A and B are shown apart, each in its own frame.
Chain A
């Protein structure tokens, strides 16, 4: 007997997210209408802002890269039944790792420093995830609570370090000095320029290849390795995991280490790829967007890729909108993004049951 609301795959992965997105845009449109602007014009502005020119595409993909890392981080943990809300803090601390490598070894060859920076990002992110994971696995502390707390601790720690330790001497704003030339991830326009293809400058950089590789590796890990299998067993049915002899403690630790490592890679994209120094609050909420991305992408790398593109476009298009429309300010854009997260994340199932009933009826009448 199937549970009510089970959908065919194409509807579950395609139609349902689309419906959710449309609902979010519809309500956003109403709000824009309410403040006296044209929703249609706003939509066009946003689309143009996200995809209208080479550099806007570059920005969209740059943001999307962030969301792929944090989205995958959430997804890996969710497959093990662990809800890691701490992507923001893990990304922040991962960035610290990248930054320390950039500051210390910036004069070396990029062939050494970039991989070193990636390794440091993973290690620092994973280390930040390890403490809540250990507390959950060994002491039963609730990981949702501890990871949220660790976001705050990360924030306070970074502020302290940037204000007191890493700050560039003789400067007012809490930022480190610039990394050396070796600690720079080549940007896409530079890379394309080298092979003779012109592309407008943007922060879009080769960390996006790392994001694609991460998608593939996560897919292989989750669905093609015995460890991924064990992780999914534990996530879906902890009793069955006990029965199978899969250690809950180990599973929680492994999933959180991978999750934290992935979140940490955000620092590679932001710091090595764009900022080239450590600055305050560079993750900018991407760790939380990762939760929505993972939800919308059904915790599958392909879905996460698509959802990241959407959110990248929303970020880039939204800032363009705030720039171009007099009545739409930055907060309006946050509202639109919030509505998309609300409908695609928190309310992702509101259309499920009616849609399933509709499809079932259509299928039933089609057969007879």
Chain B
């Protein structure tokens, strides 16, 4: 589809909103993803879009960017109606998008990535030369310093994100959409990003920030729009609202933002890890000499920017990956060897909620009830003589669904038809129900709505209060600080510090996550 009118050249400083959506409606089968959504984003402002997962934010932005087409409604850019049927249309209309998962070719240099899609002719040479000059100017104007000739895959994530932003600007974007941009950044990197966004705004660009983090909305946006169940439920100037008020709008009821828990009463160590070294499949050490213990009745949190060895640590503890050195002692027995796989560890009382639910924790094409026995299908309650006990599996799943308030309570429904929060509850229910003595949880609330976060946190604390040991790995600092009795910080595969839960604050943790060692308690 072509724009009905030629893509408007940004008329300098004309009044009116930069982007206006009128009554956008979109259904996916039975799911009404966007219900008559209207949104007006003022030129030269940072506009926040917040809501739970499945609230329709991503669908809306994907419609604006041309990944989906709206069933009805219209999009106006600088006051003129545009028809966006594919990403090229939106790029021509001056809209750029920085996706949560970067759309970069890792083996290309930064320069090659930036000109991708705007090569400017059959031969690359000329386009690359022009792009280089243009990018150096952009870099100066917006403080976006990026080594243009470096291989993109070798750059740190924060830098790769800049490449995405540069790419959008190079494609002459006036409206920049960022989808959960801080999910991969350290707090200092996030601050840097926000300074950059403020600069862009001051230069007249329009920024739309899609996030589920209240803190970011409060810190940087001018206006904020709250979506719930596909519709806009609230819109306000950011200075006129509070995090609590926003949270209530997001969930539709009053919520607890902090985890309520009594002080821990730790008992003896249940799991001891000594000098653990884990290598990835290329033989690169990702965990270097980790030593810690996990005591009964305490929650230990591991903070760190994702990709600093936490995943490998989790996989080694749960038996998925064999460590290349060190020991994992469970009740004095070393279980680090290959012959104690995930199934045996479950038998020994180690349950594991994996970081990436859809990649590892569930089988997407299976029903909820089939997912509720994953890893436990050989237990006598679920199968006898090799034959699955269908009735017991069904009733067990119904019981868990009632206990964990999983909605809809339909055991035979495909797991991917549930919201992220309910999927996670299926996984949590499965693992906690196996009566573990040690629970290892990766990203307990990734992609989980605020209402379910509260519920999952309460369950984790309950397990602790029942005298079990819990290890939580999360990239959400708020979550780590709220849940943990003790916090270990990981950077570059090593533990760089330990803080108690009460004493932790964002600044010290942030510094340690960036690799600054030392005792932050001084």
Instruction: Out of B364, B382, B387, name the residue touching A224 (CB < 8 Å).
Output: B387
Quick one: given A1-B54, A226-B378, A240-B362, are A245 and B59 in contact (CB under 8 Å)? no
Rounded to whole angstroms, the CA-CA distance of A220 and B387 in the bound complex is 9
Scan A218-239; emit 1 where CB is below 8 A from any B CB, else 0: 0010001111011011001101
Cβ of A364 within 8 Å of any chain B Cβ, yes or no, is yes
Residues of the B chain whose Cβ atoms lie less than 8 Å from the Cβ of A240: 359-363, 374
B29 touches A236 (CB 8 A): no
Cβ of A192 within 8 Å of any chain B Cβ, yes or no, is no
- Interchain nearest-CB distance for A226 vs B (Å): 4
A233 touches B28 (CB 8 A): no
Residues of the B chain whose Cβ atoms lie less than 8 Å from the Cβ of A226: 377-378, 382-383, 386-388
A244 touches B374 (CB 8 A): yes
Question: What bracket does the count of chain A residues touching chain B fall in?
Answer: 20 to 34
Residues of the B chain whose Cβ atoms lie less than 8 Å from the Cβ of A364: 27
Cβ of A4 within 8 Å of any chain B Cβ, yes or no, is yes
A227 touches B386 (CB 8 A): yes
Cβ of A330 within 8 Å of any chain B Cβ, yes or no, is no
- Interchain nearest-CB distance for B393 vs A (Å): 10
Rounded to whole angstroms, the CA-CA distance of A249 and B31 in the bound complex is 40
B417 touches A2 (CB 8 A): yes
Q: Which residues B17-38 have CB closer than 8 A to chain A?
A: 27-31, 33
Complex: chain A residue closest to B393, CB-CB: A229
Instruction: Out of A2, A220, A227, A244, name the residue touching B342 (CB < 8 Å).
Output: A244
B29 touches A360 (CB 8 A): yes
Quick one: given A224-B387, A226-B383, are A243 and B364 in contact (CB under 8 Å)? no
- Interchain nearest-CB distance for B351 vs A (Å): 11
- Interchain nearest-CB distance for A254 vs B (Å): 12
Q: Which residues A192-232 have CB closer than 8 A to chain B?
A: 220, 224-227, 229-230, 232
Q: Which residues B356-389 have CB closer than 8 A to chain A?
A: 359-366, 370, 373-375, 377-378, 382-383, 386-388
Rounded to whole angstroms, the CA-CA distance of A88 and B474 in the bound complex is 51
Cβ of A138 within 8 Å of any chain B Cβ, yes or no, is no
Cβ of B458 within 8 Å of any chain A Cβ, yes or no, is no
Complex: chain A residue closest to B383, CB-CB: A226
Instruction: Out of B320, B343, B374, B388, name the residue touching A233 (CB < 8 Å).
Output: B374
Residues of the B chain whose Cβ atoms lie less than 8 Å from the Cβ of A44: none
Cβ of A6 within 8 Å of any chain B Cβ, yes or no, is yes
Residues of the A chain whose Cβ atoms lie less than 8 Å from the Cβ of B388: 224-226, 229
Residues of the B chain whose Cβ atoms lie less than 8 Å from the Cβ of A30: none
B390 touches A243 (CB 8 A): no
Cβ of B497 within 8 Å of any chain A Cβ, yes or no, is no
Rounded to whole angstroms, the CA-CA distance of A232 and B365 in the bound complex is 10
Residues of the A chain whose Cβ atoms lie less than 8 Å from the Cβ of B417: 2
Rounded to whole angstroms, the CA-CA distance of A244 and B354 in the bound complex is 11
Cβ of B444 within 8 Å of any chain A Cβ, yes or no, is no
Question: What bracket does the count of chain B residues touching chain A fall in?
Answer: 35 or more
B387 touches A225 (CB 8 A): yes
Cβ of A242 within 8 Å of any chain B Cβ, yes or no, is yes
A2 touches B30 (CB 8 A): yes
Residues of the B chain whose Cβ atoms lie less than 8 Å from the Cβ of A245: 319, 341-346, 375
Rounded to whole angstroms, the CA-CA distance of A356 and B319 in the bound complex is 42
Rounded to whole angstroms, the CA-CA distance of A240 and B29 in the bound complex is 28
Rounded to whole angstroms, the CA-CA distance of A245 and B30 in the bound complex is 36
Cβ of B352 within 8 Å of any chain A Cβ, yes or no, is yes
- Interchain nearest-CB distance for B122 vs A (Å): 34
Majority SS of interface residues in chain A?
Answer: helix
Residues of the A chain whose Cβ atoms lie less than 8 Å from the Cβ of B346: 245
Residues of the B chain whose Cβ atoms lie less than 8 Å from the Cβ of A4: 28
B341 touches A239 (CB 8 A): no
Quick one: given A230-B377, A240-B374, are A2 and B29 in contact (CB under 8 Å)? yes
Cβ of B182 within 8 Å of any chain A Cβ, yes or no, is no
Rounded to whole angstroms, the CA-CA distance of A230 and B318 in the bound complex is 19
Residues of the A chain whose Cβ atoms lie less than 8 Å from the Cβ of B345: 245
- Interchain nearest-CB distance for B210 vs A (Å): 16
A236 touches B378 (CB 8 A): no
B364 touches A237 (CB 8 A): yes
Quick one: given A2-B29, A2-B417, A227-B386, are A243 and B363 in contact (CB under 8 Å)? no
Residues of the B chain whose Cβ atoms lie less than 8 Å from the Cβ of A239: 359-360
- Interchain nearest-CB distance for B447 vs A (Å): 13
Rounded to whole angstroms, the CA-CA distance of A236 and B415 in the bound complex is 13
Residues of the B chain whose Cβ atoms lie less than 8 Å from the Cβ of A232: 363, 366
Rounded to whole angstroms, the CA-CA distance of A364 and B31 in the bound complex is 11
- Interchain nearest-CB distance for B437 vs A (Å): 18
A243 touches B354 (CB 8 A): yes
Quick one: given A243-B320, A245-B341, are A229 and B377 in contact (CB under 8 Å)? yes
Quick one: given A239-B359, A239-B360, are A244 and B387 in contact (CB under 8 Å)? no
Quick one: given A244-B375, A245-B319, A245-B375, are A236 and B364 in contact (CB under 8 Å)? yes
Rounded to whole angstroms, the CA-CA distance of A67 and B341 in the bound complex is 40
- Interchain nearest-CB distance for A196 vs B (Å): 40
- Interchain nearest-CB distance for A224 vs B (Å): 6
Rounded to whole angstroms, the CA-CA distance of A243 and B362 in the bound complex is 10
B354 touches A2 (CB 8 A): no
Residues of the B chain whose Cβ atoms lie less than 8 Å from the Cβ of A6: 29
Instruction: Out of B343, B373, B386, name the residue touching A225 (CB < 8 Å).
Output: B386
Residues of the B chain whose Cβ atoms lie less than 8 Å from the Cβ of A225: 383, 386-388
Subset of 11 A-B contacts with CB under 8 Å: A2-B417, A224-B390, A226-B377, A227-B386, A236-B365, A237-B360, A237-B362, A240-B361, A242-B360, A243-B354, A244-B343
Across chains A and B, which 9 residue pairs bring their CB atoms closest together, nearest first? A245-B343, A245-B342, A244-B375, A2-B29, A226-B383, A239-B360, A237-B363, A243-B360, A226-B377
Instruction: Other than A1-B59, A245-B375, A364-B27, give 13 A-B pairs with Cβ distance below 8 A.
Output: A1-B28, A2-B30, A4-B28, A225-B387, A226-B378, A229-B370, A232-B363, A237-B359, A237-B363, A243-B318, A243-B342, A243-B360, A245-B341
Q: Please give the residue numbers on chain B whose beta carbons come within 8 Å of chain A beta carbons, in ascending order.
A: 27-31, 33, 54, 59, 318-320, 341-346, 352, 354, 359-366, 370, 373-375, 377-378, 382-383, 386-388, 390, 417
